[in-house]
Amino acid sequence: MANRLAQSTSPYLLQHADNPVDWWEWSQEAFAEAHRRDVPIFLSVGYSACHWCHVMAHESFDDPRIAAILNEKFVSVKVDREERPDVDSVYMDATTALTGHGGWPMSVFLDHEGQPFYAGTYFPPDPRHGMPSFEQVLAAISSTWTERRGEVEGAAGRITRALRQRETRQAIGEAPPDAEVLAEAVTVLTGQYDERDAGFGGAPKFPPSMLLDFLLRHAARTGDAQALAMVEGTCEAMARGGIYDQLGGGFARYAVDRAWVVPHFEKMLYDNALLLRAYTRWWRLTGSEFAERVVRETVEFCLRDLRTEEGAFASALDADSEGEEGRFYVWTPQQIRDVLGEEDGDWVNALCEVTESGTFEHGTSTLQLLHDPDDPRRWQRCRTQLFASRATRVHPGRDDKVIAAWNGMLIDSLAEAGAAFGEPEWIEAAAAAADVLIAVHLGAGADGDRLARTSRDGQPGSSEGVLEDYACVSGALLRLFSITADDAWLSFAGILLDVIREHFADDDGGFFDTADDAETLVIRPRDPADSATPSGWSAAAAALLDYSALTGSLAHREAAQRALAMVGVLGGKAPRAVGAGLAAAESLIDGPREIAIVGSPDDPRTWDLVRAAVSGPAVCAVMALGEGALGDDTDGEVVPLLQDRPLIDGGPAAYVCRQFTCQRPVTTGDELVTMLSTH
């Protein structure tokens, strides 16, 4: 049996390389083999940090008896959803339509054209809880395929047609949302807000990262106290709960309960990138010391545990270690006393809600910090000791592939946080990761303007970039340009945005998730709704808008406005589906504000203005930095925001504009903060 997964760049596929299942990667060759043998395709989709993917792999894919059935009756295809989000999106829609729910592992059965006819998620090895065993499912599918082929093909065709019709029925709208729609979205969210435990909805409870960004932007633009209160309540509840790593920093993917106590322990790069932005902007609006602590600890986690040798960032840490979910992170009271001694141990157990009965499994507890310690120095000493002790445990596995979009999210947030908190090392780390994306991921295609979705060990993967990759990376490069004044970042962002406009745009103003020359799937995915990450559609609109503010390109602004018309339809009715679009719409209504700072980089007054811009309350702003009359070497045609911006009395100055209509220049940081604080 050929081991076709052994050379994959995906750690998830490599986890399955030694299964007795005769796995294929997603390829035309796999479909041709199914056609040759006249058997259906079993498509299994997951990712390396997925706990239940590991469970099904151990129970079924490692079982020689089940593997023999798969090898005889099916062509089995294994897909890493993080490498192929396009494949995942198409068949997750099918799974949700057929079963009423989705998730991973995802198990879908396809005909030779790639059309789905049966789907599910996790199947147990034996019948339990009303679910058939995986073996029973395989037997039924194989029998139906052999004996009632016409029914199978008919069902596959109907399902595929229904999915295509769903794509074409999406209403885009005529115009982007106005201020009334955005206020309505806040009202709807207020009604859905969990007053007891914060966040939105019940268990399981996910970090509402895109909604937090929208609410922060709305509060900054309007002064809406309720919007800010929902942000503060949610951010505090998450960072005090077990979903936040109280010892090592960083957030887990979600909480299985309503009160943020027990996480699903995997740590994803995208969650930490998006939450880093939220806590930074919370600090920018309020100066919260609590927010600053979470920012610093989250950055420390990302730089310590996720940075790769090349300087980019790995995609995830596993939920499991030693075969048990959460084993690395949880504690018993006695374990804490063994590390700290009786007196400190009992104090920490009380402080961190560690009980004899436990808050997790087998008498273990997650660590919470529901109240600030009465002795902060004592807590820091104990925290350091516990972290050092935990470091001796078997660590969760790390998925070290580099995903372009997720790195873009962290580069953006890390650069903003570095500028806001005066941490140049953070900005340097963001720039180093961007260098990896340019050097390793960018360069495919006839014009050298295409992005690879992933890389590993400095080598690009075979998967093509999707819309979110181009959108999030271009947004990150625009952030780096604003903060570093290196116009190369602006040029690269322009290249990626040109690809979006040429190859991803739809005639109605929206965007497809895949390029027009990408591999053809049974459906070309096109989804304006956020998932755990911002929709590529909304991220593209945001990047187009920022680029237009920096360069004066009306074409980019008009493309952003057309794309945001979708938010005008959904924003006031279903804001939780389009948080990223609402955030971009806030920026559109606010301008976005354009801050042009001119002055010598050697003049401390210049950096006083820069710090005021990047740490102040104008979170819907873009910034351009140049030397003005002292010899600006930036091409004025590329960055017109800096054109005709003279020094004031020979010294640095800041110009605040909206849609290229400017207020009087100011020369001190305090004046700039006052100007930016105006709603």
| Greatest pairwise CA separation for the chain in angstroms | 88
Kindly list the domain boundaries of the chain, sorted by start residue: 11-168, 179-319+399-590, 329-392, 593-676
Identical topology for domains 11-168 and 593-676: yes
**369: pLDDT strictly greater than 80:** yes
Q: Record the tokens describing residue 530, joined without a space.
A: 């956020």
pLDDT value at residue 444: 74
Q: How far apart are CA 18 and CA 8, in angstroms?
A: 13
> How many other C-beta atoms lie within 10 A of the C-beta of residue 88?
23
pLDDT value at residue 580: 98
Mean pLDDT of the region 587-600 = 94
| Nearest Cα residue to 57 out of 100, 12, 108 | 12
Q: How far apart are CA 39 and CA 384, in angstroms?
A: 57
pLDDT value at residue 180: 96
CB of 200 within 8 A of CB of 212? no
Spelled out in words, what is the top-level CATH class assigned to the domain 11-168? alpha beta
pLDDT value at residue 627: 84
Average pLDDT score, the chain: 93
> How many other C-beta atoms lie within 10 A of the C-beta of residue 440?
22
What is the β-pairing status of strands 402-403 and 454-456? antiparallel
pLDDT in tens, 355-368: 999 999 999 999 99
* String of DSSP letters for 349-380: HHHTT--SS-SSSTT-B-----S--S-HHHHH
**446: pLDDT strictly greater than 80:** no
Mean pLDDT of the region 330-353 = 98
CB of 6 within 8 A of CB of 25? no
pLDDT in tens, 634-648: 444 547 888 888 999
CA distances from 503 to 335, 441, 519, 562 (A): 56, 18, 13, 16
Q: Residue 463: enclosing H or E segment and its boundaries?
A: none
CB of 17 within 8 A of CB of 5? yes
For the chain, percent of residues with pLDDT exceeding 90: 85
**586: pLDDT strictly greater than 50:** yes
Tell me which architecture the domain covering 593-676 has in CATH: 3-Layer(aba) Sandwich (3.40)
**628 CB-near residues (< 8 Å, 6+ apart):** 598, 599, 642, 645, 646, 647, 652, 653
pLDDT value at residue 660: 64
pLDDT in tens, 153-205: 999 999 999 888 876 656 677 899 999 999 999 999 999 999 999 999 999 99
pLDDT in tens, 25-78: 999 999 999 999 999 999 999 998 888 898 999 999 999 999 999 999 999 999
Mean pLDDT of the region 306-334 = 96
Residue 608: phi and psi, rounded to 5, are -65, -40
Residue corresponding to tokens 């004592």: 378
Q: At what angle do helices 225-240 and 179-192 cross, to 10 degrees?
A: 40
Q: What's the predicted TM-score (pTM) here?
A: 0.94
- Let me know the angle formed at the C-alpha of 329 by 325 and 334, rounded to the nearest 5 degrees: 110
pLDDT value at residue 1: 64
For the chain, percent of residues with pLDDT exceeding 70: 97
**590: pLDDT strictly greater than 60:** yes
pLDDT value at residue 170: 64
Local structure of 282: helix, strand or coil = helix
Amino acid identity at 34: A
pLDDT value at residue 101: 86
What fold, for 179-319+399-590?
Answer: Glycosyltransferase (1.50.10)
Mean pLDDT of the region 115-144 = 91
pLDDT value at residue 630: 42
